Structure 1
């Protein structure tokens, strides 16, 4: 059985309160209720979750410092990426929704806090009343007369938080607000990473389009060479048809790439809260696939957990739920209140504000749920179960954070090795195409060698461009896994959307 991350207090209550409370006790009740003591529930202590002392995966390379995660996108030194991210932070609709939830949580906290104070209502009225001539008092004795009554005053109700149930509710609302604020920061982390990923998708597809066009020009040259050799009677017609087939296959690849780019630009438009025309303006001309500095170290797992807003949000959600146990426990015990009213009553409007019109009443009261057929105990059990659930969610968030960092570091190391191999392969493939076409023009090899070489070059060059994009995206995944984004002090939560 998993234990809760809190220890039950030894403070106990018994149901022996008297139905009549002396007025001298009112002062004591008020003092206790305003002293900050919380007898229901237990004080929250953040759970200690074991994390590895060091990472299992490593980014191979010569360390040049600790990986900077604040404003990490600026390390790519790409102005278009910077502008897209700034535009997304300013206008993304989902981020605006997340901010509205912060405002809602602040108002919910204020609602909880208001329960500590008395509720005062102003009351007043004018009524015209008449009695029946045929019921009760006969007409000769005044029956059937009518009169006007005027009243103005105030009613007061103050539920005293003697046992701390209201303060537990405020504690829960405070932690809930902090959790929503951290969720806002977490969404910003994810938004920045998503914009950067889609931007890299655009640049990667553009690079693939450039390479495809270059290969199309090379294959057009091969088709011309085959035509020239056929016209000279040095090659069969099948060399022409094969060259045309290879060229058409590569040309058919271009529309697919253009569609991928259009889809990604439209996705960026959604992230920026606008339309694709504005995105195209920010993208500008085709640029190379940007890459951040390499060879940096990663902070320890414990430091990473402190930096991730989703981990902090999960911990604050646990704290909020923990306090709700005390709120539920408060229903086991009496609730004390001070009630009062003051009024000015008169049947002559000229006398309403005279001292003789005063009427008042005040005194303490309590309400105690003596029998609920197990409802209160069951609600406490539910809240305790939800607290254990929140603890498990927090532990899951920690495990997920470690997994994301490990996976992204592994992705960087492996993609870097792959990119290096593709870089060598791309250079050798280009040279192979040149050599084989030269040999074909001299009649030393048949056209099949040219086709194989060109297909290999097309494939490996495209893979090289894709690998560049994947390596850059692996760094983005690492920055996101480390909770990278704006420094906490610079995330403005007081702006209006």
Structure 2
């Protein structure tokens, strides 16, 4: 019997494991525009995007250090790494379903049979047993294989989500850092203007004592100085909030960051000749786009998993063990028992429920496709917005710098004229307020212009390489 059984089972296995139901996923490539709608600014070039390690192009050692700290200590990144480990484990669970399941067992009981049952043995007896039970599902219709495909695509999607978390994190760290330096520069400029306005207060007092100016000039000068001084605490408040946000992104407490940031007022300058490529490039460069495509692949395989439930499931079951009424005889060859044979299960009367389940998975697949297309649309939109922001802020910054130069010349001339008595103090106040406002606006614009370049790098895909994630290293 055994000699005829094994070849039959082998033939059954090879013959059944050849059919895979459900749709076979094919990589979907959404259409994108042939070119960007926004004209490129002077420091932006066509060509393959050069976005790898983009933060190093700002030539700021402190920024480089902050990125490295965030890479190692940011909590969102650590959570994303753990999700990769989880996805890998789920893939392992799915893959293990292809192998036979083997369970060991052992039992003892003391039993007496009923005297009312013919041929039974009413005398109490001991029963000993131990053995192995095995069951192997022959993946005839490919439900298990579709499940493995889905789990594998989910692992890849989770890896891309981790990558996207890095892209977002690095840009957020860089933008907060630029905001911090911008606020430091605005505070420095405000203090410089306060010194100049303090000198104007002294001039008005000297002229009043000399009988050349009224008390109103002194009062107006002091009021202007106090208004300017009131801006410092407001800027310092924003500086502290930005430092706290930056510390959070780095996975640290705020007090641990002050010495690293220092008191520099140099706002990082964006690099020259940034290549932005074409809209089609973001399909390969942006991890959120790649993640959406992998999620679509994973969901498509789930349709096959649900479809396989319509068909019978085939198993090869086996038992190998020992059974005896005496513990002394349990391990004798005469106590062995075994069985081996195929079986199947078929959910015949659940057809409509199973078909509705297939429709659920098909709808989820269409949703995943729409989400993928939406992600591509958003990616193109973000790049277009960044390009427009850079272009408009470039012109704004240029005009503000011109305004600052003119305002500085005006203040110098008007103050001299006031000293000589050929200009009223209201002209001095207006000039000082103008230079204060224009210098502050120009500094803000410089920071915004740099931040827009960072947003462009982020929109183009961030240019980071995903680290290998393993069970022993989740960083």
- TM superposition score normalised by structure 1: 0.90
> Is contact 2:310-2:351 (8 Å) kept?
no
C-alpha displacement at 1:327, in angstroms? 0.5
> Residue 74 of structure 1 is aligned with which of 34, 56, 75?
56
Give 1:462's aligned residue.
440
> Residue 207 of structure 2 is aligned with which of 229, 235, 240?
229
Distance 2:469 2:442 in 1: 43
* 1:351 matches 2:334: no
C-alpha displacement at 1:285, in angstroms? 2.9
Secondary structure of the structure 1 residue equivalent to 2:350: coil
* 1:420 matches 2:403: no
Task: List aligned pairs for 1:216-295, cutoff 5 A.
Answer: 216-295=194-273
* 1:193 matches 2:171: yes
C-alpha displacement at 1:131, in angstroms? 5.5
Could you report, residue by residue, the CA deviation over 1:222-274 in whole angstroms, capped at 9, with x for unpaired residues?
Answer: 11111111111111111111111111111000001101110011111111111
> Is contact 2:50-2:275 (8 Å) kept?
no
> Residue 493 of structure 1 is aligned with which of 458, 464, 469?
469
Could you report, residue by residue, the CA deviation over 1:310-336 in whole angstroms, capped at 9, with x for unpaired residues?
Answer: 100000000000010011101111111
Give 2:137's aligned residue.
159
Task: List aligned pairs for 1:16-415, cutoff 5 A.
Answer: 26-34=9-17, 37-61=18-42, 66=47, 67-130=49-112, 136=116, 143=122, 145-372=123-350, 374-415=352-393
Residues 433, 176 of structure 1: CA spacing in aligned structure 2 closer, same or farther, 3 A cutoff? same
Distance 2:271 2:406 in 1: 27
Secondary structure of the structure 2 residue equivalent to 1:337: strand
> Is contact 1:411-1:474 (8 Å) kept?
yes
Residues 99, 84 of structure 1: CA spacing in aligned structure 2 closer, same or farther, 3 A cutoff? same
Secondary structure of the structure 2 residue equivalent to 1:374: helix
Distance 1:317 1:349 in 2: 57
Distance 2:217 2:15 in 1: 98
> Is contact 1:41-1:327 (8 Å) kept?
yes
Distance 2:9 2:54 in 1: 60
Residues 418, 266 of structure 1: CA spacing in aligned structure 2 closer, same or farther, 3 A cutoff? same
Residues 33, 458 of structure 1: CA spacing in aligned structure 2 closer, same or farther, 3 A cutoff? farther
Secondary structure of the structure 1 residue equivalent to 2:275: coil
Paired positions, count = 467
C-alpha displacement at 1:279, in angstroms? 1.5
C-alpha displacement at 1:428, in angstroms? 1.0
> Is contact 1:322-1:384 (8 Å) kept?
yes
Which structure 1 segments of 5+ residues have no match? 1-21
Distance 2:248 2:224 in 1: 38
Could you report, residue by residue, the CA deviation over 1:57-99 in whole angstroms, capped at 9, with x for unpaired residues?
Answer: 1332266785520100000000110001100000001110001
Tell me how large the CA RMSD over aligned residues is: 2.0
C-alpha displacement at 1:380, in angstroms? 0.6
Secondary structure of the structure 2 residue equivalent to 1:432: helix
> Is contact 2:382-2:459 (8 Å) kept?
yes
Could you report, residue by residue, the CA deviation over 1:272-317 in whole angstroms, capped at 9, with x for unpaired residues?
Answer: 1111122112212314001122233311111222011110000000
Residues 126, 220 of structure 1: CA spacing in aligned structure 2 closer, same or farther, 3 A cutoff? same
Which structure 2 segments of 5+ residues have no match? none
Q: Which segment is superposed worse, 301-310 or 246-255?
A: 301-310
Residues 241, 85 of structure 1: CA spacing in aligned structure 2 closer, same or farther, 3 A cutoff? same
Residues 32, 270 of structure 1: CA spacing in aligned structure 2 closer, same or farther, 3 A cutoff? farther
Distance 1:271 1:83 in 2: 13
Q: Which segment is superposed worse, 299-308 or 463-472?
A: 299-308
Distance 2:400 2:8 in 1: 84
> Is contact 2:131-2:321 (8 Å) kept?
yes
Secondary structure of the structure 1 residue equivalent to 2:348: coil
Secondary structure of the structure 2 residue equivalent to 1:363: strand
C-alpha displacement at 1:38, in angstroms? 4.2
> Is contact 2:100-2:136 (8 Å) kept?
yes
Residues 371, 384 of structure 1: CA spacing in aligned structure 2 closer, same or farther, 3 A cutoff? same
Secondary structure of the structure 1 residue equivalent to 2:110: strand
